C-alpha cells in the first residue's frame, strides 16, 4: 500500500505503526510527495489504522500488485522530464538512429530529426544483438557524440544501458536512458538505474519485453521507482505472437489499458514492430490514435548502409512527412504536438 504523508508532518509515528504490524516499508520522495510504500500480510489491518491519522494525507491500498506505478494513489497522469522536455503532457517524439555508427552519422541524424521537429534524440551506444557476430555498438564514446550533437540543437539525448557497470558513466553524458526489451526484468540493472535517476534527476524509460506481460512491465517500473526515481516513462514496442505479420505484433489495446492502470506516460516505438520502413507510418498513426503520449522512431540519414535494423529506419524525408501527418492527426483528435525545445 501507499501512504502519502502530509507536508511537514513527522513520519516516525507512521513508520512505528508499520513496524508494529510487521510490514516492510520504504520512505521515498516521489512526484514531490512524501510517500511510504509498505508491504506484507497485514496490509489491510495497517491501512485501516492509518486512515484518518493526522500525519497521513492518503492511504492507497487497492489490493493490486502495483504500488508506486499504480494510477490510484497519484490520481492522474504523471510527467517525466528528459532534459527540458516533458513527457506525459503534449505529444512528443523521440527520434534518431538505431545504433550510433560514427560521429558523422549521428550528427546527420540529429540534424534531420531536429529539423523535422523531434523533441528528444535517441541512439544506441551499445547494441543488444542476438548474435555476437553482429555489430555490437561503439560504447561510451558514441554516447558522447550523441549528446554533443543533440545538445548543440537544444535537444536532450537518451541511450540504452545494458550493463550496470556502465550506468554511472552514461548518466554523466546523456539526459536519460532506456532499459531495452531484453533487459526489462534484470532487477540489478533496474535498481542501479533507479538510484542514478534519484541522484541525477535524469530519466529512465522502460521498454516492454517482447515476451513480457503488462503487469511485468509495470512491476519493472516499480523496481526503478522504489529507488526514489520519479522520472519514469514506459515504451511499448510489440510482442512476439504466432500471428505476427511484421517483426513484432503491436496490439494497440495495450495503450489505453496501460493508461488505465498506471500514471506513467506511455510512449510507443512503431519501428520495432514494423520491421519494415513502409509499416512505420501506419503503426505510428494507429498508436497515436489509440492514445499514445509520444513515439520513439528510428531515423537514419542513410538507412541502406545501417549496421543494424537497416530495413526499419526511416529516411529523414519519410520522418518529416510522418511528423506532418501526426500533427494533423493530433489536431483532429483534439490533442497537440508539443513545441520543440529551443536551443
Binding to a second copy in span 265-284, by CB under 8 A: 273-274, 278-279, 282-283
Assess 164 for contact with a second copy (CB under 8 A): yes
Cα 227 from Cα 199, distance rounded (Å): 10
- CA dihedral sign of residues 88, 93, 95, 98: positive
Assess 62 for contact with a second copy (CB under 8 A): no
Cα 205 from Cα 110, distance rounded (Å): 20
CB of 228 to a second copy, least distance (A): 13
Cα 214 from Cα 221, distance rounded (Å): 11
Assess 256 for contact with a second copy (CB under 8 A): yes
Assess 63 for contact with a second copy (CB under 8 A): no
Question: What sections of 97-164 are H helices per DSSP?
Answer: 103-115, 140-152
DSSP-derived secondary structure for 283-334: HHHHHHHTT-SEEEEEB-SSGGG-SS-TTTPBPHHHHHHHHHHHHHHHHHTT
Choice between 177 and 184, CB closer to a second copy: 184
Cα 328 from Cα 180, distance rounded (Å): 31
Please identify, among the stretches 86-94, 114-122, 124-132, 145-153, the one whose residues bind a second copy according to the rule CB under 8 A: 124-132
Per-residue contact flags (x/-) with a second copy for residues 15 to 44, judged by CB under 8 A = ---------x--------------x-----
CB of 265 to a second copy, least distance (A): 16
Please identify, among the stretches 51-59, 71-79, 89-97, 219-227, the one whose residues bind a second copy according to the rule CB under 8 A: 219-227
CB of 110 to a second copy, least distance (A): 26
CB of 255 to a second copy, least distance (A): 7
Site for a second copy in 184-213 (CB under 8 A): 184-189, 209-213
CB of 140 to a second copy, least distance (A): 13
CB of 256 to a second copy, least distance (A): 5
CB of 53 to a second copy, least distance (A): 22
Site residue total, a second copy (CB under 8 A): 72
> How are beta strands 80-82 and 24-30 bridged, if at all?
unpaired
Question: Which residues are CB-contacts of 54 (< 8 A; sequence separation ≥ 6)?
Answer: 6, 9
Q: Which of 77, 90, 216, 228 binds a second copy (CB under 8 A)?
A: 216
Q: Which of 4, 11, 58, 214 binds a second copy (CB under 8 A)?
A: 214
Cα 20 from Cα 98, distance rounded (Å): 51
Burial class (CB in 10 A: 0-12, 13-18, 19+), 63: exposed
Max Cα–Cα distance, the chain, nearest Å: 64
CB of 61 to a second copy, least distance (A): 13
Site for a second copy in 231-250 (CB under 8 A): 239-246, 249-250
Amino acid at each position: 500500500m501507499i501512504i502519502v504523508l502530509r507536508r511537514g508532518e513527522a513520519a516516525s509515528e507512521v513508520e512505528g505503526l508499520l513496524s508494529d504490524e510487521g510490514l516492510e516499508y520504504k520512505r521515498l520522495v516521489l512526484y514531490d510527495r512524501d510517500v511510504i510504500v509498505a508491504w506484507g500480510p497485514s496490509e489491510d489491518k495497517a491501512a485501516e489504522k492509518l486512515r484518518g491519522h493526522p500525519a497521513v494525507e492518503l492511504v492507497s491500498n487497492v489490493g493490486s500488485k502495483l504500488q508506486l506505478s499504480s494510477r490510484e494513489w497519484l490520481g492522474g497522469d504523471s510527467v517525466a522530464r528528459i532534459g527540458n522536455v516533458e513527457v506525459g503532457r503534449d505529444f512528443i517524439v523521440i527520434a534518431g538512429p538505431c545504433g550510433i555508427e560514427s560521429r558523422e552519422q549521428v550528427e546527420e541524424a540529429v540534424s534531420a530529426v531536429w529539423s523535422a521537429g523531434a523533441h528528444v534524440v535517441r541512439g544506441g551506444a551499445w547494441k543488444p544483438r542476438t548474435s555476437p557476430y553482429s555489430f555490437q555498438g561503439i560504447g561510451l564514446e558514441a554516447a558522447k557524440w550523441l549528446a554533443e550533437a543533440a545538445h548543440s540543437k537544444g535537444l536532450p539525448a537518451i541511450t540504452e544501458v545494458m550493463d550496470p557497470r556502465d550506468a554511472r558513466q552514461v548518466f554523466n553524458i546523456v539526459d536519460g536512458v532506456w532499459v531495452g526489451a531484453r533487459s526489462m526484468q534484470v532487477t540489478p540493472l533496474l535498481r542501479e538505474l533507479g538510484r542514478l535517476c534519484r541522484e541525477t534527476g535524469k530519466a529512465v524509460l522502460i521498454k516492454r519485453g517482447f515476451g513480457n506481460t503488462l503487469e511485468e512491465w509495470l512491476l519493472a517500473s516499480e523496481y526503478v521507482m522504489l529507488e526514489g526515481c520519479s522520472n519514469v516513462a514506459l515504451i511499448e514496442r510489440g510482442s512476439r505472437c504466432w500471428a505476427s505479420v511484421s517483426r513484432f505484433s503491436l496490439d494497440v489495446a495495450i495503450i489505453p489499458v496501460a493508461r488505465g492502470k498506471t500514471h506513467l506516460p506511455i510512449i510507443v516505438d512503431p519501428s520495432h514492430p514494423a520491421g519494415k520502413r513502409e509499416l512505420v507510418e501506419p503503426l505510428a498513426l494507429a498508436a497515436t490514435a489509440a492514445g499514445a503520449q509520444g513515439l520513439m522512431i528510428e531515423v537514419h540519414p542513410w538507412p541502406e548502409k545501417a549496421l543494424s535494423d537497416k530495413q526499419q529506419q526511416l529516411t529523414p524525408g519519410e520522418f518529416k512527412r510522418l511528423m506532418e501527418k501526426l500533427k494533423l492527426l493530433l489536431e483532429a483528435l483534439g490533442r497537440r504536438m508539443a513545441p520543440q525545445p529551443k536551443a
